[in-house]
Amino acid sequence: MSTILFLAPRFPWPLIGGDRVKPYHLLRHLASHHRVILVAFNHGGPATAEQRRAIEDLGVEVHDVPLNPYAAALASARTLTTGLPLEIAFYTRPEFARIVDEILATTTVDLGISFFMRTAEYLRYRPMKKVLIAEDCRVEYQTRSSHAARSMHQKLVRWWETRKLRVYEPAIVHDFDVTTFVSPEDVMAMTNLEPGATYKVVTNGVDLETFSFRDNIDQREGLLFTGKLDVLANDLRAKMIISDILPDVRRRYPDTILTVAGAYPKSSLRAMASAYVRIEGQVPDIVPYLHGAAVYVHPHHGGSGIQNKVLEAMAAGCPVVTTPSGLQGIDAVDGVHALVATDAASISRNIITLLGDVDLRRRLAHNARQLMERTHTWEVVGRQLDDVLAPYGLDPNHTVTWHDQPSSSIVTE
């Protein structure tokens, strides 16, 4: 049995947000075959007994590091005098480094895994085998987000991060044996920045039991958008739907109601609630909303990676209208698994088409669910991770002592 040290920027419980959900499922998979030690930040204070128990029940040894957001924000000022981007400086804390040092000094660790580039600093210079689960190309993310930013402040922050990341990101991937991304598009973007490192795709999954399929298409009503609503991108998308898309839809279907459901909506978004716009904050379970909506609307522009909310909608049988970047990393075809548009006007037209065609909605819903079952289960993700680790002797069916790493290559499957 090999020993794996797994570092995460956010404690992987409760299962809210991709930076918790994916680490949880990766830890569950790894712990079924290996000894796994987790070191994770917990924002706001120590992990609760419930949080620790949820991860320890997987068979994982847990070390949590409280992260004070104010102290971390002050520490981000080091971006001015170092090569660290803001998002890396925020997570560079001596308490975390001390625990990693102690583990490596007292335990023979066969593999280190950094989940997100935010924990890469703690492993990058260690003389050990290590994997960086980067998820998305951060330069690509910040560049696209800068184009989508609406205020000068947002554009300035994005510009600064992009400037730092153009140096930092190509350098960090060379300090890991392999770096994984969620989509071939992210691999290509990173390859363009740095062609000399090793990259693989480990996609994201969706819990098909939790996000169960409900074939009630002819009983569904209204539009739906979901997400953590304090996240700037989600806040802007929700407001775009309300201001630029819903009015066009209601001219054709006047009784259409939009529900924006998730957590922590900003006061400016709450102020946009009306008889036809429902802002549902602190939603304990998003699945009933996905089972009740006629159309899931996701006007995604900018960013990189993969959209977990689209995976969830497709799994639950809620027909999706999105943009090309909203389907990045998902092998979905326009008109087969979802309807794809590029701007507010064409998104509105696609929504109107779906509201008037129950057979098309049913066909998209069934096709999308089948796609999720083939390509985005956590079992699929586990097999992809096994493929990443197998060349180093960590195949769960063939655990051996680590040997020299293979020569650098770029793998995009």
C-alpha torsion angle, residues 279, 284, 287, 288 (rounded to 10): -70
What gap in Å lies between CA 301 and CA 237, rounded to an integer? Answer: 9
What gap in Å lies between CA 322 and CA 338, rounded to an integer? Answer: 8
* Cα–Cα distance list, 69 to 45, 66, 90, 116, 400 (Å): 10, 9, 8, 18, 41
Contact 352, 253 (CB under 8 A): yes
What gap in Å lies between CA 263 and CA 29, rounded to an integer? Answer: 28
Q: Residue 95 has which token pair?
A: 């308490």
Concatenated DSSP letters of 195-244: TTS-EEE------TTTT-----GGG--SEEEEEETTSHHHHHHHHHIIII
Q: pLDDT of 7-56, one tens digit each?
A: 999 999 999 888 999 999 999 999 999 999 999 999 999 999 999 999 99
Residue whose pair of structure tokens reads 């006629």 in the numeric block: 294
Q: pLDDT of 329-343, one tens digit each?
A: 999 999 999 999 999
Q: What is the mean pLDDT of the chain?
A: 92
Nearest residue to 30 (alpha-carbon basis) of 85, 136, 112, 116: 112
Q: Provide mean pLDDT across the span 102-122.
A: 97
- Report CA torsion sign: 264, 305, 152, 245: negative
Q: 233 pLDDT band (50/70/90 cuts)?
A: confident
Contact 5, 113 (CB under 8 A): yes
Q: Please tell me whether the overall predicted TM-score, pTM, comes out greater than 0.75 for this model.
A: yes
Q: pLDDT of 383-395, one tens digit each?
A: 999 999 998 777 6
Task: Provide the CA 189 distance to its chain's centre, in angstroms.
Answer: 17
Q: 397 pLDDT band (50/70/90 cuts)?
A: low
Check pLDDT > 50 for residue 403: no
Check pLDDT > 50 for residue 225: yes
Nearest residue to 31 (alpha-carbon basis) of 2, 65, 63, 64: 2
What gap in Å lies between CA 278 and CA 337, rounded to an integer? Answer: 27
Concatenated DSSP letters of 315-332: HTT--EEE-TGGGTTS--
What gap in Å lies between CA 142 and CA 163, rounded to an integer? Answer: 10
* Cα–Cα distance list, 260 to 241, 266, 277, 345 (Å): 10, 12, 8, 20
Kindly report each contact of residues 148-155 with a partner whose C-beta sits within 8 Å and lies 24 or more positions away, as own/partner.
148/233, 148/236, 148/301, 148/302, 148/303, 150/236, 154/232
Q: pLDDT of 145-204, one tens digit each?
A: 766 666 777 788 888 999 999 999 999 999 999 999 999 999 999 999 999 999 999 999
Contact 28, 45 (CB under 8 A): no
Q: What is the pLDDT of residue 372?
A: 98
The burial of 191, by beta-carbon neighbours within 10 Å (0-12 exposed, 13-18 middle, 19 or more buried), is given as middle
